[in-house]
A and B are shown apart, each in its own frame.
Chain A
Amino acid sequence: MAFLEWRKFQFFDLRQNIEGSEKLLELSKEINITCTSAGNNYLVFGDSLGQIHLISRSWHINTFRGYEICIEHSFQLRSSPFLITIGHDEPGINPLIKVWDISKFDRNGIPFCQRITKAVAGSYPVQVSCLAVCDNQQLMAVGFLDGSLILYRGDITREKSSKQKTFKDVKTEITGLAFKLTANRIFLFVSTYKEVFVYNITQKDKEQKYQLDNIGCSRKCSVLAESTQESHFMVARNNAIYCYTPDGRGPCYAVDGEKILLEWFRTYLIIISKSNRSSSLPKNIINNVTTPQSTNQVLITVLDIYNKFIVYQYVMPNIRAVLYEWGSFFILGQDYRIYSLEEKDLQSKLSLLFKKNLYDVAIRIAKSQQYHLDGLVDIFKQYGDHLREKGDHAGAIEQYTKTIGKLEPSYVIRKFVDSQHLEKLIIYLQALHKQGQATEDHTTLLLNCYTKLNNTVDHTASLREFILSKESDLNYDVDIAIKVCRQGNLAEALKLAEKHEKHDWYIKIQIEDHQNYVQVLDYISSLKFEEADHYMKKYGQILIEHLPFESIQLLKRLCTNFKPNNSNNASDNIISAHYDIEMKSDPEDFIHLFLNNSSGLVEFLEHLITAGCFLSSSVYNTLLEQYLHVWVGTEASGEKQKIAHRILELLQNPDIKLNKSHALVVCDMHSFSEGILYLYEEQKLYQQILRYHISRNDPHSVLACCTRFGHQDPTLWVQALWSCVRDNKELSIDLLKQILTVIAKEKLFSPQLVIDAVSTGNAEITLGHIRSYIMNELQQEMKKSEEIAQLTGNYKKDTEKLKNHIEQLKNGVTHIQGSRCAACHHHLELPAIHFLCNHSFHQHCFQTCSDDESECPTCQPENKDLIELLKAREYNKDLHETFHFQLDKAHDGFSVAAEYFARGLFNNYRILR
């Protein structure tokens, strides 16, 4: 039977003998309840005498008279204090709708009646069969026995603002009404005995009717099931509960039995149906209550619509009503006893399920009730434990997987860490990695599991899969993984390293474990520049040792124009342009790699030079050193010559920024004379060259050197002389002569010093060797002194003359004989002005051409010059710095000093007027 397909649980407790409810029992002795409703903290009963009973939570009953004759329908709004009732005040007329405000009572304890409206369906009075009020207090619908339907719009508490519209679309009794408000539409579901339909009543006077089904239901057997997801209008028929949406049919729940009442409570559908199979039903818990009235017994079924279980089923005597208020669910029995149906709390529900090992159901329920995560994890764990005990390891792992992030992984790992369950463990660990919860230890364990399985069964594939899986799928510490793999699965470790670009690991493994140097070189050359550079520096030494040629090739590329090997040319053009600018390694960094491989280094560096790279001086230094190293090591003279040539070329190359002093030291160390000399020359260290030649005792070279560089540094000659005479036992006379000649000619050295030098030296030099020189010198000296003596005489004469002149001017008579004017050259006429300088002027001429009366205009410029000269001298003599400077600069210091004396350094000039 279909009914038995539903899973059944007892998640509710039926309570009887509710404290205080016995008052109701007493009340019921006198009355006959005709309608019930609940909401806004009250249970509302209407009776056949027209009385309304309001029952508060403490079971206090407040009774008042609502109608004179009887009350047929009542509707208490859920969250507002309005009670709508329909009943009769007089016989044979239209029923009256009354709206009560049960928050306001008058002196007699009767609530305030807001509105009284006649429910007029047609020309003659018709009984009301159904009442529905929308929670927004704006809509009310009344269904009649004859199929008429009145829709009231506007505030339900005010008759004036209320507009009514009557529909007469069907001929059979209206059995159910329900309003449904969506975001922008309003529907009114209607059920009759013969059909189900819906009105779209969003717009006033544009109501549209849609038929939903052509089977109907009886009274009280329809309900609007409102939930967060989708609201359904549920209609109970004998074979099933059918659900309708405004669009048409929805789902259908097969529940057998003749339905009496349908009610919706939270997420539960309460079905009251006639019981005809009492024997098959669960035993009544409250045995003393049940009276064996099998004919009148009903079956209460509570259906959890979302989880699709029957959560409560119970058989009891016929009931009158089902009400829910105050968070509980009440059943009013035929005998007016109140039963309350209370839902068990989640914990007890769960423990009930755990007892039956229905963990999957527990999980479903816990999830649907928004059970907290920790609790859920606990269920998963228990479920996992249970499955494991049953031997369903795969299922257990699946449950344990759901606990990841909350449950300590070691709990699970410990249970599965024996060889039989490695595969399960792997699944768990993989999940752990996927969720990023894995620690290093877990990675290690997982890889070890792979390795272990690898040994027994062919599980390399899974390991490979793990390794090659995308990083986003599995989060693990790659370093650890490589380390672990390296111990067992070198190939995998390599793959892993390659995939995750752990170049260091890759190269290390290749070198240390595989000795596969070619592969390493290939790998490095496929890397990006920076990386290639880095790893070449790191591993270059080993590589060069094993694969000198290939390594050097790679190094060359690195230092000149490196491009990753595998990159596509087309796509990388832009990048390569970028490389050209800056992607060149500094060869200096690689030099140390060429340990004990001079020729390799030489080749490498030469290549770089020919390629025109910019190299630092230290690189050249190294190259030079290496050249010299090779040069020294080479035996064959021809070869040696070649190398020497190359060294010189290197030294002479103007582009090369060689550290010259360093080069010199190196050349010297290897006694590479050509180099040394070249360097000296370049550095203008002629003295050094000379000294070198002298030390080599090579008079010709000395001479050549002197003549070559003598004009640049005359002291060379002196040097040569000194060295000649000092040390050389076997003095070259020719050389000496040459030297002396030059010295004499250039006056480089005073003869006295020459003689001094010659005499102090160790060389055996006879007077004869230097005689001609001395003679020459002496003659020249004599000539000079004669010239000077003559000059002195001249000066003396001049001085005497001047002195006489002065004396005359002072004491003698001056004849002024000028007959012509010095200005206009005409004959002098009085008045005239005469000067002692024998110049005479007309007075008017003098006045025109003279600025100063006391001076002769003709002599004035000359005098002025002289005075200025004297003043300048006066001024100059205080400039000590100038003096010193001149003294330093002068060839002959004495003459400078003499000149200063001559200017009257120590006596003041007086300018005579």
Chain B
Amino acid sequence: MSYAYLFKYIIIGDTGVGKSCLLLQFTDKRFQPVHDLTIGVEFGARMITIDSKQIKLQIWDTAGQEAFRSITRSYYRGAAGALLVYDITRRETFNHLTTWLDDARQHSNSNMVIMLIGNKSDLESRREVKKEEGEAFAREHGLVFMETSAKTAANVEEAFINTAKEIYEKIQEGVFDINNEANGIKIGPQHSPTNPSLPGAASSGGSQMSNCC
């Protein structure tokens, strides 16, 4: 499967907000009501098409528990997009958003696209966080906002694809340096033969990176 671009995502948020279920719904189109706790980081990939270009999304689904924070932090770097997830039926997951956001901003590259997601929108009866609150938080922090349901698949597709679109736009605008892999974007192998100088540049960029770190 050749692709034009590879985007790396990270899904973050409190434990039990449905991060793994979002990923499962997006990659496998199914919902698993009982899900073991994520221990470490899980991984999924899917191809999407934007602007008639094949884009591969590689998604790191991180563990929400505090104990794994040190592991998950190392994944911020190298992610082009982040889905910051809270549970609309649990107020505290919303309250922790600032912590998560600070963490993300601190450890990621500055251009990372962050999408705020209020998950479990199917459980309207148990809602604790209003949609407006989510919107307000997103506005305040310059995020894109969306309410989703991993169970009914509502907006799941959109959440991932809209993020990809945003990243794609930023690439077109030249905001992202696509030759720096630490940004979480990789040019597909099909592009290499047409532009032989590019991979060499990428390789040297990578080694420079290793030196400076």
Chain A residues engaging chain B, CB cutoff 8 angstroms? 1-2, 5-7, 169, 195, 197, 208-211, 214-215, 239-241, 243, 247-254, 308, 360
B203 and A210 form a contact (CB under 8 A): yes
- Stretch in B31-39, B84-92, B103-111, B154-162 touching the partner: B31-39
Cα A241 to Cα B39 with chains together (Å):
11
The list of the 3 closest CB pairs from A to B, nearest first, reads A252-B41, A251-B43, A254-B40
B43 contact set on A, CB distance < 8 A: 243, 250-251
B40 and A240 form a contact (CB under 8 A): yes
A253 contact set on B, CB distance < 8 A: 39-40
A308 and B6 form a contact (CB under 8 A): no
B199 and A208 form a contact (CB under 8 A): yes
B14 contact set on A, CB distance < 8 A: none
Q: Can you give 10 A-B contacts (C-beta < 8 A)? A: A2-B67, A169-B207, A208-B199, A210-B181, A210-B202, A211-B210, A241-B40, A247-B6, A248-B8, A308-B36
Q: Is B120 an interface residue (CB 8 A)?
A: no
A239 contact set on B, CB distance < 8 A: 70-71
Count contacts between A and B, CB distance < 8 Å: 73
A249 contact set on B, CB distance < 8 A: 41, 60, 75, 78
B210 contact set on A, CB distance < 8 A: 195, 197, 211, 214
Chain B residues engaging chain A, CB cutoff 8 angstroms? 6, 8, 34, 36-37, 39-43, 58, 60, 63, 65, 67-68, 70-71, 74-75, 78, 181, 186, 199-200, 202-203, 206-207, 209-210, 213
A240 and B42 form a contact (CB under 8 A): no
B63 contact set on A, CB distance < 8 A: 254
**Which of A2, A6, A214, A252 gathers the greatest number of chain B CB atoms within 10 Å?**
A252
A251 and B41 form a contact (CB under 8 A): yes
Kindly report which residue of chain B lies nearest to residue A195, judged by CB atoms.
Answer: B210
Cα A776 to Cα B129 with chains together (Å):
135
Cα A511 to Cα B68 with chains together (Å):
73
Kindly report which residue of chain A lies nearest to residue B42, judged by CB atoms.
Answer: A251
Kindly report which residue of chain B lies nearest to residue A307, judged by CB atoms.
Answer: B36
Cα A254 to Cα B36 with chains together (Å):
14
Q: How far is the CB of B80 from chain A (nearest CB, A)?
A: 11
B75 and A2 form a contact (CB under 8 A): no
Kindly report which residue of chain A lies nearest to residue B67, judged by CB atoms.
Answer: A2
Kindly report which residue of chain B lies nearest to residue A209, judged by CB atoms.
Answer: B203
Contacting B213 at CB < 8 Å: which of A5, A7, A214, A252?
A: A214
A211 contact set on B, CB distance < 8 A: 181, 206-207, 209-210
Cα A215 to Cα B74 with chains together (Å):
10
Q: How far is the CB of B72 from chain A (nearest CB, A)?
A: 8
Given A6-B39, A210-B181, decide whether A248 and B70 contact each other with a Cβ distance below 8 A. Answer: no
**Which of B40, B60, B68, B186 gathers the greatest number of chain A CB atoms within 10 Å?**
B40
A5 contact set on B, CB distance < 8 A: 37, 39
Contacting B71 at CB < 8 Å: which of A197, A208, A209, A254?
A: A254
B60 and A210 form a contact (CB under 8 A): no
A360 contact set on B, CB distance < 8 A: 34
Cα A214 to Cα B199 with chains together (Å):
20
Q: How far is the CB of B155 from chain A (nearest CB, A)?
A: 25
A208 contact set on B, CB distance < 8 A: 199-200, 202-203
Kindly report which residue of chain B lies nearest to residue A361, judged by CB atoms.
Answer: B36
Cα A475 to Cα B37 with chains together (Å):
39
B8 contact set on A, CB distance < 8 A: 248
B39 and A248 form a contact (CB under 8 A): no
Q: How far is the CB of B17 from chain A (nearest CB, A)?
A: 17
A248 and B40 form a contact (CB under 8 A): no
Kindly report which residue of chain A lies nearest to residue B72, judged by CB atoms.
Answer: A252
**Which of B36, B42, B70, B213 gathers the greatest number of chain A CB atoms within 10 Å?**
B36
A197 contact set on B, CB distance < 8 A: 206, 210
Q: How far is the CB of A812 from chain B (nearest CB, A)?
A: 138
Cα A243 to Cα B74 with chains together (Å):
13
Kindly report which residue of chain A lies nearest to residue B186, judged by CB atoms.
Answer: A247
B206 and A210 form a contact (CB under 8 A): yes
Cα A346 to Cα B166 with chains together (Å):
48
A252 and B40 form a contact (CB under 8 A): yes
Q: How far is the CB of B12 from chain A (nearest CB, A)?
A: 14
B181 contact set on A, CB distance < 8 A: 210-211, 248
Kindly report which residue of chain B lies nearest to residue A243, judged by CB atoms.
Answer: B43
Extra contacts besides A208-B202, A254-B68, A308-B39 (8): CB < 8 Å: A5-B39, A7-B36, A210-B181, A214-B213, A247-B6, A249-B75, A251-B43, A254-B67
Q: How far is the CB of B127 from chain A (nearest CB, A)?
A: 24
Kindly report which residue of chain B lies nearest to residue A194, judged by CB atoms.
Answer: B210
B37 contact set on A, CB distance < 8 A: 5
Cα A781 to Cα B63 with chains together (Å):
143
B202 contact set on A, CB distance < 8 A: 208, 210
Cα A209 to Cα B200 with chains together (Å):
9
Q: How far is the CB of B82 from chain A (nearest CB, A)?
A: 15
Cα A248 to Cα B58 with chains together (Å):
9
B40 contact set on A, CB distance < 8 A: 2, 240-241, 251-254
Kindly report which residue of chain B lies nearest to residue A237, judged by CB atoms.
Answer: B71
Given A243-B43, A251-B42, A360-B34, decide whether A209 and B206 contact each other with a Cβ distance below 8 A. Answer: yes
B58 and A247 form a contact (CB under 8 A): yes
Q: How far is the CB of A686 from chain B (nearest CB, A)?
A: 93
**Which of A1, A214, A241 gathers the greatest number of chain B CB atoms within 10 Å?**
A214
Cα A195 to Cα B6 with chains together (Å):
22
B206 and A252 form a contact (CB under 8 A): no
Cα A2 to Cα B41 with chains together (Å):
12
Kindly report which residue of chain A lies nearest to residue B199, judged by CB atoms.
Answer: A208
Q: How far is the CB of B43 from chain A (nearest CB, A)?
A: 4
Given A249-B78, A252-B71, decide whether A2 and B206 contact each other with a Cβ distance below 8 A. Answer: no
Cα A240 to Cα B199 with chains together (Å):
31
Cα A398 to Cα B137 with chains together (Å):
40
**Which of A169, A209, A360 gathers the greatest number of chain B CB atoms within 10 Å?**
A209
Q: How far is the CB of B65 from chain A (nearest CB, A)?
A: 8
Cα A675 to Cα B65 with chains together (Å):
107
A248 and B78 form a contact (CB under 8 A): yes
Cα A7 to Cα B200 with chains together (Å):
45
A247 contact set on B, CB distance < 8 A: 6, 58, 186
Cα A208 to Cα B78 with chains together (Å):
19
Cα A5 to Cα B63 with chains together (Å):
11
Q: How far is the CB of B183 from chain A (nearest CB, A)?
A: 12
Q: How far is the CB of B64 from chain A (nearest CB, A)?
A: 12
Contacting A248 at CB < 8 Å: which of B186, B199, B200, B207?
A: B186
Q: How far is the CB of A27 from chain B (nearest CB, A)?
A: 41
Cα A197 to Cα B203 with chains together (Å):
11
Cα A209 to Cα B203 with chains together (Å):
6
Kindly report which residue of chain A lies nearest to residue B37, judged by CB atoms.
Answer: A5
Q: How far is the CB of A233 from chain B (nearest CB, A)?
A: 13
Cα A250 to Cα B8 with chains together (Å):
10
Kindly report which residue of chain B lies nearest to residue A364, judged by CB atoms.
Answer: B36
B186 contact set on A, CB distance < 8 A: 247-248
Kindly report which residue of chain A lies nearest to residue B3, judged by CB atoms.
Answer: A247
Cα A682 to Cα B34 with chains together (Å):
95
Kindly report which residue of chain A lies nearest to residue B63, judged by CB atoms.
Answer: A254
B71 contact set on A, CB distance < 8 A: 239-240, 252, 254
Cα A209 to Cα B208 with chains together (Å):
12
Kindly report which residue of chain A lies nearest to residue B6, judged by CB atoms.
Answer: A247
Q: How far is the CB of A151 from chain B (nearest CB, A)?
A: 16
Q: How far is the CB of B209 from chain A (nearest CB, A)?
A: 6
Cα A249 to Cα B213 with chains together (Å):
17
Q: How far is the CB of A434 from chain B (nearest CB, A)?
A: 18
A254 contact set on B, CB distance < 8 A: 39-40, 63, 67-68, 71
A195 contact set on B, CB distance < 8 A: 210
B74 contact set on A, CB distance < 8 A: 215
Cα A254 to Cα B78 with chains together (Å):
20
Given A211-B210, A247-B6, decide whether A1 and B203 contact each other with a Cβ distance below 8 A. Answer: no
B75 contact set on A, CB distance < 8 A: 249, 252
B70 contact set on A, CB distance < 8 A: 239
Cα A614 to Cα B150 with chains together (Å):
68
Q: How far is the CB of A597 from chain B (nearest CB, A)?
A: 61
Kindly report which residue of chain B lies nearest to residue A232, judged by CB atoms.
Answer: B43
Cα A716 to Cα B21 with chains together (Å):
109
